């Protein structure tokens, strides 16, 4: 009887630890980013970033299909390293941050393994919601020096500006914006 109880206790411990592995993470805004680049009139590249990124994600290396993320980007935080250009980007010709101060992405599915794949979801930008697919790659995970546990991922997506009502004319070479995403989360 005693060995049966030990066996059952062992099974419960394994089952309990498996449930713990489906971890939830809070996005670390100081180590997460959304960068962009767009051609300027077809002559050069304009680079920029959004400095305020927040949200949560769920990740379990043993069950990658259950991965999920919910991200908010403050469009007011756009930074192209030029104050006058940033003012223009925040205005009605582009992001119209007074009316649309946030962009969001909420995942709906993930296809791939624990190291990378395609994250599908709904991107809401400039008052328009569209389904998008983002190529995702795991950067790493592990303990941090402060006693926490972190996981980090990168992603890329090419945004067609007119799909989100961003119609300001920049020439035929500037119809898309290349996005590079970096998300680092701290396990809750």
Question: Could you give phi then psi for residue 20, rounded to 5 degrees?
Answer: -70, -30
DSSP-derived letter for residue 108 is: E
- CB count within 10 Å of CB 36 equals 18
Instruction: From first to last of the 188 residues of the chain, give the pLDDT tens digit.
Output: 444 443 333 433 444 444 455 699 999 999 999 999 999 988 999 999 999 999 999 999 999 999 999 999 999 999 999 999 999 999 999 999 999 999 999 999 999 999 999 999 999 999 999 999 999 999 999 999 999 999 999 999 999 999 999 999 888 899 999 999 999 999 99
Burial of 116 (0-12, 13-18, 19+ CB in 10 A): middle
- Asked if residue 53 lies in contact with residue 33, where contact means CB atoms within 8 angstroms, the answer is yes
Query: Residue 71 forms beta bridges with which residues?
Result: 55, 105
Domains of the chain: 22-187 (2.40.128.110)
């Amino acid at each position: 009887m005693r060995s049966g109880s030990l066996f059952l206790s062992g099974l419960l411990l394994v089952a309990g630890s498996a449930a713990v592995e489906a971890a939830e993470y809070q996005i670390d805004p100081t180590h997460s980013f959304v960068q962009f680049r767009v051609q300027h009139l077809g002559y050069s590249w304009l680079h920029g970033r959004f400095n305020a990124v927040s949200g949560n994600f769920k990740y379990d290396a043993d069950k990658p299909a259950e991965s999920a993320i919910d991200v908010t980007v403050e469009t007011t935080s756009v930074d192209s390293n030029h104050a006058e250009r940033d003012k223009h980007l925040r205005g009605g010709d582009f992001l119209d941050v007074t009316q649309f101060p946030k962009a969001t992405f909420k995942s709906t599915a993930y296809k791939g393994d624990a190291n990378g794949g395609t994250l599908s979801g709904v991107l809401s930008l400039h008052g328009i919601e569209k389904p998008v697919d983002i190529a995702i790659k795991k950067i790493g995970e592990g303990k941090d020096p402060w006693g926490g546990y972190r996981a980090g991922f990168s992603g890329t997506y090419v945004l067609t500006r007119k799909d989100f009502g961003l119609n300001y004319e920049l020439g035929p070479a500037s119809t898309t914006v290349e996005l590079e995403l970096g998300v680092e989360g701290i396990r809750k």
